[in-house]
Amino acid sequence: MKAGAMLRKVKSRSWKKQRHFRLQEDGQTIWYKSRWAGTGHSTFSVADVDVVREGHQSEILLSIADEFPADLCFTLVFRGRRSNLDLVAESPSEAQVWIRGVRKLIQNTESMNDKERLDQWIWDWFQKADKNKDGRMNFKEVRTLLKMMNVDMNEEYALRLFTMADKSESGCLENEEFVQFYKMLTEREDVWRVFQDYSRDGQILTLAELEDFLKQEQQEGERSLEHAQELIDRYEPSENAKKHGAMSIDGFQMYLVSPESAVLDPQLLALHQDMSQPLSHYFICSSHNTYLMDDQLRGQSSQEAYIQALKRGCRCVEVDCWDGPNGEPVVYHGHTFTSKILFRDVITTLAEYAFKVSEFPVILSLENHCSMEQQRVMAQLLDTILGDTLLTAPLDRLVPQELPSPQDLKGKVLLKAKKIGGLEESETLTDEVTDEVSDEDEADPKSLSKSKLSRELSDLVVYCKSVHFHSFEYSRLHSKCYEMSSFSESKARKLAKDTGAEFVRHNSRQLSRVYPSGMRTDSSNYNPQELWNVGCQIVALNFQTAGLEMDLNDGLFSQNGCCGYVLKPDFMRNDDSFDPERPQDRNGYTSLRLSIQLVCFVISGQQLPKVNQKEGSIVDPLVRVEIYGVFQDQAKQETSYIDNNGFNPLWNETLNFIVHVPELALVRFVVEDYDKASRNDFMGQFTVPFTCIQPGYRHIHLLSKDGTAIPLSSLFVNIKISELTTEV
């Protein structure tokens, strides 16, 4: 791989171009260019590759299967929303070199511990800064390095650090000397101050001192002593300190940057909630027009969109079905220029990927625009491809009084669609004319025409029968637990504002689905929080569009094993009257004070991506903390900005919030590059459910706009949560 190879990069059946690919010396970066590109080239990190698919395992490679056999083809699937890279090798052996090689590199990257990641990061910087590739770095190269790292450092101070690290007095830093230079550059004054507050001699934390820190700052309880010993055993690098039951500053820093000390409680990351309650008692991770990779008018429809959504924990996917040629139903956004894919291929993809990330049920939301004949084809395809995973009858053959639980429905696909009659009625063998239409067509008066449902398709609907919503009173008196309605975002918002408490009660018994306005042709999203506030379970978003709304969605569903189901608060699951507009009226109401001291913004690894790529430009970062929840909890505060320091800016500012309904609140940390002349540029964010926050000194590991990790980049904060003693 380091010697390089010519591979065909394939974008379509007509676009197949040769590129020279080569693994760089760092063993982590793949470089490629066209032979005609001059000095121009592209690179990507192996760490950005999620998986390597072998053979014709993409729509693009399948389209050229008649030209290139499967043993020449492979696909690199990237993390986040980046497009796949489809490649064709010159020979089967060459393909295997790259398939096995990239897989091995991915495995190596994923198995690295924190020290190995740091060593790799230092080596990467050394390679970038060593412009003449002589294995040494002079002071001019060091000054260039500092600019690359987002550091605007006084030249005299930089020279002093350089001279201190230059033990050989050669005027250049070799590898080990560069490591020393890096350590001096990244000394954590913020962590040192915390360490000094609890260390009597300023050199180590005794077991008792570490226990005191865990009790006082990390708000740990009775097992602080036991935990202190565990931390020393786990993180202390000095055997001598370990032997004396103590922790050095190095061990203390390793603990503070570990996943164990992250802002999101790792115990709540795992599957831990009660999964035996009715489906209506959970928020369900849901996608709108799942087949689209881009906008709603001309975007590409793709099976890959379903794979990506399911990998993100999505448990409700949507399929828009229309009559296709040769009796084969197709999936696309009707009456637009979006491309078409076969319904058969969508269901095949669902069968393969539905339960790779989560074992809990997938709801297949069917928008049916097909003729009777092709509806029967759809029913046959669903039955034959999904087999036993498709739920086709009530559990135990009993008519339910309440919906079954995610636990009961593990490994099952549930069809959400129109249904002839109900579960209580005896089967007949006739089709039926109905005045009900596809859910989302209800918002379009032109679509309100009678349509026919096939009995074969209708019979596959069990617990998710789509019905028209009349009123909350009508639903309370007449609706069955297995009947559910879909609402446009505007209709759902109005109901939430006008009759929030009734909406909450309705959603304790029945499922509700909310979908984006038809005016969002750019695939933008609405804020899901206000619909979660009234207990709507299936709040469908355009997963292909990054931004605040998907950050909130990813934040909510980051807990409970990322299984796509989050148990609603108990006051939304019973008949208690909870009104999100008046949270103080609920039983057991207690508001909390959230205090966040932004101690330091740390980049202990790769720097935040520069928004302005102009050489020499350095960011002016600020941090904004945003609270999303019930109306009374919506709040934003931000720090001042720090001039010219994207490497280790210090704020030492405290932000305070009052939170009335912590069970529904999400806290979003955003880092931006301040610009006095225009809008600030986004740099990174992290969103966490309030109830999953660990108090104390914590690191917040930042994500890109795309939702992927920015390696080793974080905020260092001190979080305190307390009950209010007086009403505010």
Does 289 belong to an annotated binding site? yes
SS (H, E, C) 244-260: CCEEEHHHHHHHHCCHH
Q: What angle do CA 279, 285, 286 make, to 5 degrees?
A: 100
In this structure, what token pair is assigned to residue 291?
A: 């087949």
DSSP β-bridge partners for residue 292: 301
CA nearest neighbour of 487 among 476, 500, 496: 496
Angle between helix axes 343-353 and 303-311 (nearest 10 degrees) is 20
Q: Are 554 and 271 in contact (CB under 8 A)?
A: no
3-state secondary structure of 504: helix
Query: 217 labelled as ligand-binding?
Result: no
Measured CA distances, 626 to 603, 629, 716 (Å) = 22, 10, 17
644 labelled as ligand-binding? yes
Helix (H, G, I), strand (E, B) or coil at 421: coil
d(CA 195, CA 191): 6
The CA–CA distances, whole Å, from 163 to 135, 142, 157, 180 equal 18, 11, 10, 11
620 carries a ligand binding annotation: yes
Give me 534's structure tokens: 């009234």
Q: How many CA atoms lie within 13 A of 164 on its CB side?
A: 13
633 assigned to a ligand binding site? no
CA–CA dist 620, 591 (Å, integer): 35
| Strand spans (E) along 399-478 | 413-417, 432-434, 451-453, 461-466
Q: How far is CA 713 from CA 127, 384, 484, 543, 658, in A?
A: 20, 48, 43, 25, 28
Determine the distance from the C-alpha atom of residue 561 to the mean position of all C-alpha atoms in its chain, rounded to a whole number: 13
With contact defined as beta carbons under 8 Å apart, do 186 and 604 qualify? yes
Q: Is 673 annotated as a binding residue?
A: yes
- Nearest-5° Cα angle at 241, 240 to 247: 160
Structure tokens at 437: 């239409």
Q: How far apart are CA 457 and CA 390, in angstroms?
A: 12
Tokens representing residue 146 in the block: 């500092």
As given in the structure block, the two tokens for residue 332 are: 């696309």
Q: Is 674 flagged in the annotation as binding?
A: yes
Q: What proportions of the chain, in percent to the nearest 5, are helix, strand and coil?
A: 35, 25, 40
Structure tokens at 408: 């009961």
- Using only C-alpha atoms, the chain has a radius of gyration, in whole angstroms, of 28
H/E run at residue 710: strand 709-723
Q: What are phi and psi of 6, to 5 degrees?
A: -90, 120
Q: Which residues are catalytic?
A: 288, 333
Neighbour tally for 342: CB within 10 Å = 16
Evaluated on CA atoms 151, 157, 161, 163, the torsion sign reads: positive
Please give the structure tokens belonging to residue 703: 């994500």
Q: What length does the chain have?
A: 728
Confirm or deny that 439 is annotated as ligand binding: no
Strands 16-23 and 709-723: unpaired
Please tell me whether 513 is known to bind a ligand.
Answer: yes
In angstroms, the CA 363 to CA 404 distance is 13
Beta-sheet strands, E only, within 629-708:
635-638, 650-659, 666-673, 681-689, 696-703
Asked if residue 625 lies in contact with residue 637, where contact means CB atoms within 8 angstroms, the answer is yes
* Structure token digits, residue 429: 């063998």
3-state secondary structure of 725: coil
**Mind giving me the DSSP string for 614-647?**
STT----EEEEEEEESSGGG-EEEE----TTBSS
**Do 141 and 126 meet the contact criterion of CB atoms below 8 Å apart?**
no
Annotated binding-site ranges: 289, 318, 320, 367, 416, 418, 486, 513, 618, 620, 644, 673-675
Q: State the binding site for substrate.
A: 416, 418, 486, 513
